[in-house]
Amino acid sequence: MNTVVDICAKSCDRNGGRRVRLHEHIRDALHVFDKIKHRVDGSLCELIRLAIVCHDWGKVLPAFQIQRLKNKCYTPCSPLIDIPHSFFSLLWIDEDKLKQRLPQHDADTYREFVFSAIAYHHWRENFFELISSPHADIITLIDALGAVKGNLEENLRAEIEKLGDGWHELVGFNETMANGLHNGVPLSEYARPPYHFYFLPKRVGLDDKKMREWILIAGFLQRADHFASFCEEEGQDVSIAEGEICPMRPDDIVKEVKGKIQEKIESSPVHLQDSTEIWQLETINVCKDKNVILVAPTGYGKTEFAFLWGSGDKFFYTLPLRAAVNQIFERAKAVFGENTVGLLHSDADVYLFGDGGEGQANLKAYDLARQLAYPAIISTGDQFFPYALRPPGYEKIYATFSYSRLVIDEVQAYDPRAAAIVVKFIEDIVRMGGKFLLMTATLPEFVRRHIVDAVGKNNFEYINLYKQGKDTLEKIKKHKIKVELIENRTDKEKPDFTIPEEKLVPVLSQACEGKRVLVIANTVKQAQDIFERLKYVIEKDNQYKALKSKIWLLHSRFTHADRDALEAKMCGRGGAFKNPKPDSEREGKILVATQVVEASLDIDADVLFTEVAPLDALVQRMGRILRRYGPMTDPQKVPSPDNPNVYIWVSQHGLQSGQHYVYDPDVVLLTIKLFKDRPDKHCKDWLSEKLTKHPKLDDRTQSVLQGIFGCEEGSRREGRETSRKGKRKRPTDEQTPVSRPREFEFVCSEYDKYELVNKLFESLSEETDYLRTFWQTKDILDAGYMSDRKEDAQKIFRDIHTLSVVPDHRREEFITAIETFFNNTHNTRTCFTLFKKEVLSKFVVQVPFYAQQIQQREFKPVEWWVRDLSCVQEALKKALMRWCQGIYFANYKYDERMGIIAEAPWGCKDTAIL
């Protein structure tokens, strides 16, 4: 008889971790699941436990023990053929004994689910090749097992026996499967693949109930396995899995949260109601256990309602932008407590690390959030919504959301493709058993209808606070809007979007009157041009000298460090545009920005100058003007302006600097039409008629602008028409241009904005890019599309078209910064968070991506330089190169005031937004 040897599951030698034996890891994973098994239907618990017990049995393979884990004493010492251990696990399960533990009414289906969950719980990109056809490595391995499989089976049985509960009785080599694989049967015939569109035929035919059970078995296995591994690597006891279990009963939590929120609302300076009339407390009583769509103005207290709705259960609060997520995270901690709220977004580790001495502890909290362990998690939407594309590992997310509550805030900030993905995610989590709260100031009616159709009108509560507060909102008229037409030049379909000097003079004049002036452009290039020209006039003209140090530029093409510093200057403590503006402030100032200020920054200005944009985006921009007077303010205390305080610039050719690259031009045209014809508001078929009558965009644009502003383009063309005899035709009444001013203005109440945005979405034609993109994306998802990689799913959701660059002129400075950092840094778990914070954030900038750039070798990978650095320990160099993947040196110039300064030398239009 051979000596039985230890089978290791992990070789954890970092962060105080320890070598973990296989039975210990399985026990840890079972312990994690035991803490959350009350979230699962009782009938599935045993199936999940089966999958957990068997999931790592393939680690008995000599190649895994000796080559991967350096278990040098392991015997037998061959064969050293390495295949994924999860595949190999299936070969050690005695199917006959397994079936005895399965529900007998459908044992074959549940066996498939358990086998699939085990085989693919660590999906890798090369798995498709391994499972879709006969594979030489698998055949060779099975050949080589003949002499040693008895020893391996003995090792495994002895190891699993340490678990108790008779689990070792399931150990038995599966000769039937081994022979099939050896004879060329692909692994996908034994374990149904849950991923890849290619394998969709293997998944069709499953009803919703069975599909849900499959996802839950795989998802809870992944959740338990990943969290147990995390604890083992960190040297922590798996009992911290109880972090998901709140220390108080749900009823007590709800009561405590209600008390804190009532106290916060009553102490608010804009609170108008008696405590018995606080709408959040009244409304929550009728919808606490329902799905909810909440439409309400910004500043109405939606966040506090969301905290009430989510309290007592595990919940996720999502927003589109990092800055807003950080703000809600701080508010959530004040309500729920420091140790019950997690933060998730791409730079959450840097934010949590902070500048104080608690960085190490905060990073541990970040890791717990990544494991979804907190009762409340505040996150950017891109951390979860891309899983609607079902990339590998999506089951873990869906299993967690099957018993959780999801808050989707600021849904109007997502583009049509992302909005379709969000809607699909909502549908899926409702099918899984979770609940959702969709909150927004503007909800497209077609989105609402689609959710109603998918979820069922009896499965959610629709709450419209605009309707409930109509009387008050109609009285709040703090914005007077002036829409101005700019006659810009065009050359061979390349319009010049330079804002004329006479339009910029009022920007300076308003600031000289002591006002906060906000200027918003639709592209970085336009914002930089406006900023430079304003700055030039200020420096040359003494009447504006007070503004020399009171003008700033903000957009996305700054380094993270510079942008964070700028945002702090604008809305941090004592910020130049911090909300609310103090009554005593008399100092004029100007902020030139792009769309980054629409939703992420809590700023307050007096006047807005902006390029035209879709109506919902313009409403968001207007929300930054007189923000100090929120929708809960007594209307009598809100000033009604005599003069315009919102100026909207419309370029005659191209409409706005981003053209169709940034916004759908037909949606912009519809916006202008709605502004002009507000009293009528009958635009239901207007856009469809224009699309039919004028198929070419330029013709359509000129027709609309001529009808609204009486553009010269149309009158000149008509004036040139001649008869066949060469004489100029006498214009008919229809041809005679009507004299119209090149501008119009109107006062807009808070309720008017709501109605206008509703009318915009009601009037959209199915032929617009906006609706076409939404429905095409949704149809593809409904057809069963699955992304092959999580990274691809995130790119589709975020519609990423940027590259990370370090400007060439800063190359030496960047390399020196890396050398200095690693000369003074040891290999600690905070090393690369510090590297991101202290090096990458100060040098890396996002720029628009054009394919020609790579082809013309304008970009050089940073990795080429990093791999030759002698100051970096070899143990760290591999990790450093991974961190630098996708970052390039490029011939851009960078300026701390302006950000990246570059023309696109490849003939591409610079249309990058934000």
For residue range 435-463, list pLDDT tens digits in order. 999 999 888 888 888 898 888 888 889 99
State what percent of residues in the chain have pLDDT above 70: 87
Q: Where are the beta strands (DSSP E) in 578-663?
A: 589-593, 607-611, 646-651
Cα 340 to Cα 349: distance, rounded to the nearest angstrom:
17
Q: What is the pLDDT of residue 828?
A: 66
Task: Give pairs for 821-829: CB < 8 Å, separation 24+.
Answer: 822/869, 822/871, 822/872, 822/873, 822/876, 822/880, 823/871, 827/873, 827/875, 827/876, 829/14, 829/15, 829/360, 829/363
Helix, strand, coil share (%) of the chain residues, nearest 5? 55, 15, 35
Q: Indicate the SS3 state at residue 724.
A: coil
200 neighbors 211 (Cβ within 8 angstroms): no
Q: What is the pLDDT of residue 868?
A: 83
Half-sphere exposure of 785 (CA within 13 A, CB side): 17
For residue range 48-104, list pLDDT tens digits in order. 999 999 999 999 999 999 998 988 889 999 888 889 999 999 999 999 999 999 998
Quick check: 15 pLDDT over 80? no
Kindly state the tokens that stand for 5.
Answer: 């040897």
pLDDT-derived band at 422, boundaries 50, 70, 90: very high
Quick check: 686 pLDDT over 50? yes
Residue 461 has phi, psi (to 5 degrees) of -110, 130
Quick check: 730 pLDDT over 90? no
Q: What is the pLDDT of residue 711?
A: 61
Lowest-pLDDT choice from 370-374, 798-802, 854-858: 854-858
- Our CA dihedral for 196, 202, 207, 208, rounded to 10 degrees, sits at -20
170 neighbors 98 (Cβ within 8 angstroms): yes
Kindly state the tokens that stand for 771.
Answer: 């609706």
Cα 863 to Cα 885: distance, rounded to the nearest angstrom:
6
Q: What is the pLDDT of residue 36?
A: 92
**pLDDT, the chain, mean:** 86
Q: How far is CA 562 from the centre of its chain?
A: 22
Q: What is this structure's pTM?
A: 0.90
Kindly state the tokens that stand for 795.
Answer: 């790119």
Cα 662 to Cα 669: distance, rounded to the nearest angstrom:
14
821 neighbors 839 (Cβ within 8 angstroms): yes
Average pLDDT over residues 384-392: 95
For residue range 468-481, list pLDDT tens digits in order. 999 999 999 999 99
pLDDT-derived band at 738, boundaries 50, 70, 90: very low
Average pLDDT over residues 651-662: 92
Average pLDDT over residues 761-789: 88
For residue range 555-610, list pLDDT tens digits in order. 999 999 999 999 999 998 899 999 999 999 999 999 999 998 987 788 999 999 99
25 neighbors 13 (Cβ within 8 angstroms): no
Q: What is the pLDDT of residue 723?
A: 42
Nearest to 488 by CA among 755, 239, 292, 712: 712
Quick check: 322 pLDDT over 90? no
Average pLDDT over residues 753-765: 91
pLDDT-derived band at 534, boundaries 50, 70, 90: very high
Q: Which residues, other chains included, contact 229 with Cβ-Cβ below 8 Å and sequence gap of 6+?
A: 10, 25
Average pLDDT over residues 789-809: 85
Query: In this predicted model, which residue has the larger pLDDT, 255 or 608?
Result: 608
For residue range 469-512, list pLDDT tens digits in order. 999 999 999 999 999 999 998 876 689 999 999 999 999 999 99
Cα 771 to Cα 147: distance, rounded to the nearest angstrom:
63
Q: What is the pLDDT of residue 482?
A: 98
Average pLDDT over residues 714-719: 40
Q: What is the pLDDT of residue 200?
A: 65
Following DSSP, what letter does each residue of 552-569 receive, concatenated?
EEE-SSS-HHHHHHHHHH
Q: What is the pLDDT of residue 829?
A: 66
Q: Which residues pair with 589 in a beta bridge?
A: 516
Fill in the amino acid letter for 908.
C
Number of other CB atoms surrounding residue 731 within 10 Å:
13
Q: Cα dist. 811→129, 446, 597, 711, 848 in Å?
A: 40, 50, 31, 50, 20
State what percent of residues in the chain have pLDDT above 90: 60
Quick check: 305 pLDDT over 60? yes
Cα 661 to Cα 524: distance, rounded to the nearest angstrom:
13
Lowest-pLDDT choice from 183-192, 289-298, 653-662, 858-867: 858-867
Q: What is the pLDDT of residue 555?
A: 95
Burial 752-779 (b: 16+ CB within 10 A, else e): bbbbbbbbbbebbbeebebbebbeebbe
Quick check: 243 pLDDT over 50? no
